[in-house]
Amino acid sequence: MFTKLINRIITAVLLPVLMSPVSPVMSIKKAVWKPTEIISLADSGYAEESRELKITAHRGITAIAPENTLPAYQKAVELGYYSAECDIKLTSDEHWVLSHYSYIGWHFWQIGLIKNLDLETLRTYSYKNGRNFWAYDSLKIPTLEEFLDLFIGSETRPQVEIKQKRVYDKLGSVVDIIREKGLEKQAIVISFDIKDLKKLRELSPDLELWYMPSRINEKSISELKDVGGNVWFSCKFANVNAESLKLAEENGIGVSLWGIDSVKTASKAYKMGARNIETDNISN
């Protein structure tokens, strides 16, 4: 009740002042969150990497729009990225929405936890951070359904990370939504929790599933093989080397690397043997 009251005050009283065109707060935010350029591998002299690397837009094209928002993913589809990754969490009324964080105050003027808020209420809240957030009319937190709609008929693959912990009995709704959109063979679902992937495999033999362990080793390989079907690793670049990539390859498991934010790092990953990378700001 207290959180709802605070948010009503923020929405009705503070927002009109804070988001006014003459607000000093908005002037600062526009300077901090101005759009940035997408770095092109080809234009940066990395032609070979550009031809061969499959690039995932991590949380969308965050150079031009806030992460986990529809404009960020629409741009990824328009630019023909291999895939685009989102994070999903459950609202109090069990709708899957896009957010990396549980606490909405990271990106919204309002406060609270997603799990304690219903979808209708969340959709009334306004972004306060993210590239160019002020330029998009009626920018609201997206649902998983809205995210997936952007990929229908495109060659870009939707990549969905399960960010809600230990909700194994709710994962059927994720599969149902993907299936209803006709994207079961195009979508990728990823998680740090191997139990998520095992449950998802029970629900769908067709989904491509990516596991996010801290390291690629015999233990994580065994865990992933137990999931069965089309499985990959998604690992932090800093935690792998050429030997671990080769170990995965020898076991018939593909690897995608995240935490790559410069063309030099992308090239280093390529030389190590990687052919799939995830990044916030690099294109082919």
Selected residue with higher pLDDT from 21 and 99: 99
267 secondary structure, DSSP code: H
The HSE-up count of residue 78 (CA atoms within 13 Å, CB side) is 9
So where are the chain's domains?
44-88+143-283
Confidence at residue 94, expressed as pLDDT on a 0 to 100 scale: 98
> How far, CA to CA in Å, does 115 sit from each of 119, 165, 174, 198, 252?
10, 11, 16, 24, 38
What is the rounded average pLDDT of the residues 116-134? Answer: 96
CA atoms of 97 and 91, how far apart (whole Å) = 7
Confidence at residue 31, expressed as pLDDT on a 0 to 100 scale: 96
Check whether 1 has a pLDDT greater than 80: no
Check whether 160 has a pLDDT greater than 80: yes
Percent of the chain with pLDDT over 70: 100
CA angle 118, 121, 127 (to 5 degrees): 115
> How far, CA to CA in Å, does 215 sit from each of 191, 192, 239?
14, 11, 6
Q: How far apart are the first and last CA of the chain?
A: 49
Confidence at residue 32, expressed as pLDDT on a 0 to 100 scale: 96
Mean per-residue pLDDT of the chain = 96
Confidence at residue 93, expressed as pLDDT on a 0 to 100 scale: 97
Structure tokens at 80: 């023909």
Q: Render 175-212 in DSSP notation, one character per residue.
A: HHHHHHTT-TTT-EEEES-HHHHHHHHHH-SS-EEEE-
Lowest-pLDDT choice from 12-16, 83-87, 101-105, 180-184: 12-16
CA atoms of 268 and 248, how far apart (whole Å) = 18
Check whether 255 has a pLDDT greater than 80: yes
| 44-88+143-283 has CATH 3.10.50.30 classification | no
Cβ partners under 8 Å of residue 165, min gap 6:
193
Tens-digit pLDDT profile for residues 60-87: 999 999 999 999 999 999 999 999 999 9
Q: Report residue 137's pLDDT band, with 50, 70 and 90 as the boundaries.
A: confident
List, in sequence order, every residue forming a beta bridge with 256; answer none if it has no partner: 234, 276
pTM value is 0.96
Q: Report residue 229's pLDDT band, with 50, 70 and 90 as the boundaries.
A: very high
Count of CB atoms within 10 A of residue 250's CB? Answer: 9
Percent of the chain with pLDDT over 90: 97
